[in-house]
Amino acid sequence: MSGNLYVVAAPSGAGKTTLVRMLLAEEGSVHLSISFTTRAPRPGEQDGREYHFVSVDRFRSMIAGDEFLEWAEVHGNFYGTSKKWIGDQLAAGHDVLLEIDWQGAQQVRKLFPAAIGVFILPPSMDELSRRLTGRGTDAQDVIERRLAAAEAEMRHVGEFDYAIINDQLDQALQDLRAIVRSSRLSPGKQRLQHPALFSRLL
Ligand code: 5GP
């Protein structure tokens, strides 16, 4: 594979989607994988933009057809990454970013040991609690269940190459940008950008 594969995971409330969106706005050469999901679209979400929204039957037939690079059940819905799309992007030399959960990240790591895993964390459990409380419309037990689920997800941080603390959004974005930049500086990657120079050297 010549492009870099970034796997970004986080518990809800860590600000992953915002961070990734900001990174992609700057780094046009990083292509975001659009996952398939069986969950219903949320208000404002569009089929083919946030997700490819499919039925459970269609999802199952895609599993049977070996169409997923990875898939997992998260919070009662199925989510999966298209094997063909990823393969085509990487083969064309594009960098690809997957926004998936830790279970999917484990599967991707087995298939692509060179994948770069990034886990985004809130600065503290108290802050996460504040973020999950949000508009204050949810019952306390619902919030506590979400917090416990988030903590269980966060225990997988050690399986990732990098941990970003999203306290100040600007700082977290700089950290994410630094990971993307440095991953492009290995001699093998530089060779792709500077073939004339590196053909003499490697
Ligand atoms: P949401 O429904 O809030 O968009 O996403 C719920 C969780 O599913 C998030 O942790 C998100 O990263 C994860 N997710 C989204 N797409 C995929 C996917 O293709 N595979 C896996 N394993 N998880 C995914």
Q: Which ipTM value was assigned to this complex?
A: 0.99
Q: Which helix (H) or strand (E) segment is 33 a member of?
A: none
Q: Specify the higher pLDDT residue, 108 or 130.
A: 108
pLDDT computed for residue 190 by the predictor: 93
pLDDT computed for residue 135 by the predictor: 62
What's the CA gap between 143 and 37, in Å, rounded? 24
> Is residue 68 domain-resident?
yes
Instruction: Note the pLDDT tens digit of each residue in 25-41.
Output: 999 899 999 999 999 99
What's the CA gap between 178 and 170, in Å, rounded? 12
pLDDT computed for residue 139 by the predictor: 83
Instruction: Note the pLDDT tens digit of each residue in 111-167.
Output: 999 999 999 999 999 999 998 887 666 788 888 898 999 999 999 999 999 999 999
> Is residue 201 domain-resident?
no
What ranges in 33-139 are assigned the alpha helix state H?
56-64, 83-91, 102-111, 125-133
Measured in Å, residue 47 CA sits from the centre of ligand 1 at 15
Which protein residue has the closest C-alpha to ligand 1 atom 11? 100
> Is residue 142 domain-resident?
yes
Whole-model pTM?
A: 0.94
Q: Is 43 annotated as a binding residue?
A: no
Q: Is 41 annotated as a binding residue?
A: no
pLDDT computed for residue 133 by the predictor: 85
> Is residue 83 domain-resident?
yes
Measured in Å, residue 74 CA sits from the centre of ligand 1 at 7
Q: Specify the higher pLDDT residue, 1 or 113.
A: 113
Which protein residue has the closest C-alpha to ligand 1 atom 2? 39
* CATH at residue 157: 3.40.50.300
pLDDT (mean) for 9-28: 95
pLDDT computed for residue 172 by the predictor: 98
Domain containing residue 127: 5-195
> Is residue 202 domain-resident?
no
The encoded tokens of residue 79 equal 């989510």
Sheet arrangement for strand 36-37: 52-53, 36-37, 77-82, 68-74
> Is residue 141 domain-resident?
yes
Pocket of ligand 1 (CB under 6 A): 35, 39, 70, 72, 74, 79-81, 99-101, 103-104
- Name the band, by pLDDT with cuts 50, 70 and 90, for residue 1: low
> Is residue 106 domain-resident?
yes
> How many domains are there within the chain?
1
What's the CA gap between 151 and 168, in Å, rounded? 20
Instruction: Note the pLDDT tens digit of each residue in 61-106.
Output: 999 999 999 999 998 999 999 999 999 999 998 999 999 999 999 9
**Residue of 46, 39, 102 whose CA lies nearest to 70:** 102
% of the chain residues with pLDDT over 90: 86
> Is residue 162 domain-resident?
yes
